[in-house]
Every structure is written in C-alpha cells, then in structure tokens.
Amino acid sequence: MKGKVIGDILVVKQDVENPQELLEIPGVKRVVKLGHIKGLKREPEVKVLFGDGTETIHKENHCLFKMDVSKVMWSKGNTGERKRMSTMPEDGETIVDMFAGIGYFSIPMAVHSKPSKIYSVEINPVSYNYLCQNTVLNRVEDVVKPILGDCREAAPRRIADRVLMGYIGNTNEYLPVAMDILKDGGVIHYHESVPDCIKFKRPVDRIKEAAGEREVQVLNERIIKPYSPGVYHVVIDARIG
C-alpha cells in the first residue's frame, strides 16, 4: 500500500478494504484518503477511512508542523527542498515568503538559520492560523511574522534580501511583485512546473523579463520532483540587481 505518513496519519490515494490493518505501520493511528488539491488556497479533498479527526503534528528536520490534512496540503516530495532552504539564509537577512502556507519554508529557515526577520504571507485563513501556531510550537515567533492576505497587496516592498516563491501554478504572474519586494542584490527562489524540454529555459526567461533592466545572475537550477508525465517541478535561485 503506497501512502505517506503525516504525523500519526497515513494518507493514501485510493480506498482501502481493511484500513485498520494499516495501523501496523509504526506511528500510524489514523488513515485518510487524499483526493484532488483545489484552487489557489491549495485545499485537499480528504475522506477519513479509519480513526477520528484529521488534525496532527508532523515532525520534519527537527521542526514541528501542526496541520489538518483535510484542509491544508503537505508534499513529501518537497522534503529535500525544505531541508536545502533551511540553511540557505545568511545571518541577519530579511526574508519574504510569498506563499508561506503553514510555514513549510519559513519555519525551517527560522529554526536552522539566523535571519533577522521572515515575513510569511499566506492567503488561506486556515493555513495562516496553523502558520501562527507553528511559529509558537517552534519558538520562532520573534523571527517569523505571519501576514494574512494576498502577497500582491500584503507583502512589504523593497525590504527583502531573499524572496521565496514556493508555489507552483500561476507563479510567474507574481514575479513583478517579487521584484518589488527584493532589495537590489537580493536573491529569489522561483518555483515553476515546466515541460522537460524547457525546464530551465522558461523559468529563467520569465525571471529576466520581470527583472527588466536589473541584472540577473542564475545561482542554481534544480529539479525538485516530477510533477506529471513530461513535466517537472523546478526551482531557480537567482540574484537580482
């Protein structure tokens, strides 16, 4: 049985005839079926197959993430990227996380690095609520400042040494906002789902177009995971200006 363990919940993608048998997996107390992820707010469709409730606390990379798997998403495929980003910031940096969710990137960076401030913007009120709780759970509320709202309006401008764009969908539409958020010489981490044949070309071209006359220095190009047949989830690290 394929699935992923989130906290004490096993998340599967199909119905199970005897879900209680899956409790033999270490740490698993509940089983849920995950359907489609819907909309900009990234809300999953979930059916409880065994056990009560869908809220749990997941531990990863020495960080705690409280969440409700029926209301917010958790991608195991992004584990490597979350770990990579956790030690990326330099001491004293100001960071803006444009699509913060429950703190996927903000929390590990605050725990494992020494940024001055992380402005974590989230449009989904449910995810925002968990983001606030997770800053307290991880004792980083003095570093992470949650902001509820659309990053196009709510994110602070001309303040960031580093900007995270850890959402894939219409992410390219937010690149001009990211450029407004960055200081000159700041670094952007831009995520996109891209066909294999242009997996690094299109994202870089889009970053350069949004940067306008500002210089773009590509620092790193990385495949995070397969997204669909022939399509990859990639991230581009680039210094702007």
Which residues contribute to the annotated binding site?
75, 82, 122
Sequence-distant (≥ 6) Cβ neighbours of residue 63 within 8 angstroms = 86, 107, 108, 111, 138
State the Cα angle at 94 between 204 and 127, rounded to 5°. Answer: 80
Task: For residues 140 and 203, give the distance between their C-alpha atoms in angstroms, rounded to a whole number.
Answer: 32
- Distance separating alpha carbons of residues 65 and 118, to the nearest angstrom: 17
With H, G, I as helix, E, B as strand and everything else as coil, classify residue 199.
coil
Q: Which of 63, 198, 196, 76 is nearest to 137 (CA)?
A: 63
Tokens of 210: 């949004």
CA 65 – CA 231 distance, rounded (Å): 29
Q: Which two tokens stand for residue 214?
A: 């500002």
The half-sphere exposure of 12 on its side-chain side, counting CA atoms within 13 A, is 18
Taking the C-alpha atoms of residue 96 and residue 186, their distance in angstroms, rounded to an integer, is 11
Known binding-site residue numbers for S-adenosyl-L-methionine: 75, 82, 122
Token look-up 């306008």 returns 212
For residue 104, which of 131, 124, 137 has the smallest C-alpha distance?
Answer: 131
Return the structure tokens found at 23.
């409790």
